[in-house]
Amino acid sequence: MTEAILLVGGKGTRLRPLTMHTPKPMVPAAGVPFLTHQLARARAAGVEHIVLATSYLAEVFEPYFGDGSALGLHLEYVTEVEPLGTGGAIRNVASRLRSAPDEPVLIFNGDILTGLDIEALVDTHRTTGADVSLHLTRVEDPRAFGLVPTDATGRVTAFLEKPQTPEEIVTDQINAGAYVFNRSVIDSIPADRPVSVERETFPGLLAAGAHLQGMVDSTYWLDLGTPQAFVRGSADLVLGRAPSPAVPGRCGDRLVLDTAEVAPDAKLTGGTVIGAGAVVEPGARVDGSTVLDGAVIEAGAQVRDSLVGAGARIGARTVLEGAVIGDGAFVGADNELRAGARIWCGARIDAASIRFSSDQ
Ligand code: GTP
């Protein structure tokens, strides 16, 4: 039985203010902490033992997931004293692994939503006899990613981090953040210092002649590192476009958690999720958005492709589009926030004080 490591210790700076008090993997997507979807998908692929590599806000994981038995898993937690980066985090949990040196260990970045065929990745690893196998996906604009060209047999030929010039963009295949490592390769990563698996371990292995195998799987894939992507991913889970056994309810246009109150004439569309104890007042429209627990959307407000934090309040007739409202923030009536606006946790915006400039 293959075991897995989940990397969940990043600071999630791109997702602020949502990650000020909550680590990225614990931010709710489709009604449950995002990590639940990854754990449930790994379990469905036959993984039973998972070690969580924690660092930033490490203390919140274990109280929520415990020993993992509710998900049919055996979970362990290892916290870094100082953040060790992706490679250092993998090495730091090695003592908890049960696999023999030549056995495969799955490794997942904790912020990727994907329909990857996990078992196929392990099969590819076994049949090719690789030291490390990587899930690769194809993207239209690869500039923000790590490019991974392969030869005709799928063997990795180079690692090119965040290419900028057209000459550097030699492939549209990118590192999708899921790997299979032979256990012995994990043990060979230097211990007790920060290591980047993408920038140091992979290029180093390649230079040393190791066999790194790429498997292109072009099913659903999204890096939930930015607010826009996070909101999109949550909506896709609710809509059923992104597969997860952990969505609490039937997939469809909306997901309203048990204790939420939604006025009969409020309109919820596009994979919107309304969290426990949240309130949506009459005439409000919420499309493709995530409204976290205890938030209030007042009468006639229009919320689109936005994330409203826990306990936040959106005033009457206010328009949000592509906005992120931090936990406990208050946005008064008749405001207009668009295009990546971020309101910090607990901030207060008076009524009718923000308008979108291109409207004038
Ligand atoms: P940004 O700050 O917004 O870039 O996000 P991030 O901190 O999550 O970094 P990134 O998206 O590059 O991290 C990829 C994965 O590795 C995520 O699942 C992180 O949680 C995880 N990760 C990054 N750095 C560390 C680390 O030092 N320790 C551990 N345990 N995990 C890490």
pLDDT tens by residue, the chain, 360 residues: 689 999 999 999 999 999 999 999 999 999 999 999 999 999 999 999 999 999 999 999 999 999 999 999 999 999 998 999 999 999 999 999 999 999 999 999 999 999 999 999 999 999 999 999 999 999 988 888 889 999 999 999 999 987 778 887 889 999 999 999 999 999 999 998 999 999 999 999 999 999 999 999 989 999 999 999 999 999 999 999 999 999 998 889 999 998 999 999 999 999 999 999 999 999 999 999 999 999 999 999 999 999 999 999 999 999 999 999 999 999 999 999 998 899 999 989 888 888 876 654
Residues across the chain: 360
The Cα angle at residue 41 between residues 258 and 121, in degrees rounded to 5:
165
> Can you give the pLDDT at residue 168?
79
Break the chain into its structural domains and give their ranges.
Answer: 3-223, 253-349
**Smallest CA separation from ligand 1 atom 26, residue:** 85
Best substitution site from 19, 76, 92, 109 to test ligand 1's pocket, by max atoms within 8 Å of Cβ? 109
Q: Is the CB of 55 under 6 A from ligand 1?
A: yes
Based on the residue annotation, tell me whether 11 is a catalytic residue of this protein. Answer: no
Q: Which CATH architecture has domain 3-223?
A: Alpha-Beta Complex (3.90)
The atom number, within ligand 1, closest to the CA of 109 reads 18
Query: Could you tell me the CA-to-CA distances from 195 to 4, 39, 213 in Å, in that order?
Result: 19, 25, 21
- Alpha carbon distance 22, 191 (integer Å): 28
> Can you give the pLDDT at residue 249?
85
Residue at 222: amino acid letter: L
> Can you give the pLDDT at residue 265?
96
> Can you give the pLDDT at residue 357?
64
- CATH class of the region 253-349: mainly beta
